[in-house]
């Protein structure tokens, strides 16, 4: 076999294996049950998990995979309505790991951020179960 073809096939095989590993690996490896407790202590004052139930903040039912600022019966800040984000686990991690006013200047959300990495992973795992 031609050495260039052999090298190309080898690289393609490695790329497929790496891609399969990335798809099989969870974006967040938290404990959803522990995350429910984190939600209660960090989020429940302002957010509900029941679909259609808004509090100071919008319902977080179905948050993972939802476009930011898209709950129709909640009045978001202009900053969040204009955000191009979709709430992926990675975006939630970025947003929740820092003060909201830094993550999204102009937001109405008053939150200082969750700096404990395990609690953050647990919380995002829990949020991912809400559907």
Residue-wise pLDDT tens digits, 49-91: 999 999 999 999 999 999 999 999 999 999 999 999 999 999 9
Cα 8 from Cα 91, distance rounded (Å): 34
pTM of the prediction? 0.78
If pLDDT is split at 50, 70 and 90, which confidence band does 29 have?
confident
Strand partners, 86: 67
Cα 114 from Cα 94, distance rounded (Å): 10
CA 67-89-124 angle, 5° bins: 110
Answer whether residue 2 shows pLDDT above 70: no
Q: What is the structure's pLDDT at 107?
A: 94
If pLDDT is split at 50, 70 and 90, which confidence band does 24 have?
very low
């Amino acid at each position: 076999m031609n050495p260039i073809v052999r090298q190309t096939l080898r690289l393609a095989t490695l790329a497929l294996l790496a891609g399969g590993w990335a798809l099989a690996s969870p974006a967040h490896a938290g404990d959803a049950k522990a995350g429910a407790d984190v939600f209660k202590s960090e989020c429940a004052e302002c957010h509900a998990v029941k679909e259609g139930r808004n509090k100071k903040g919008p319902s977080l039912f179905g948050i993972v995979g939802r476009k930011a600022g898209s709950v129709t019966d909640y009045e978001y800040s202009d900053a969040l309505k204009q955000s191009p984000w979709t709430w992926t686990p990675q975006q939630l991690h970025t947003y929740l790991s820092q003060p909201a006013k830094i993550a999204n200047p102009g937001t109405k959300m008053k939150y200082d951020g969750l700096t404990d990495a395990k609690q953050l992973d647990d919380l995002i795992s829990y949020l991912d179960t809400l559907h």
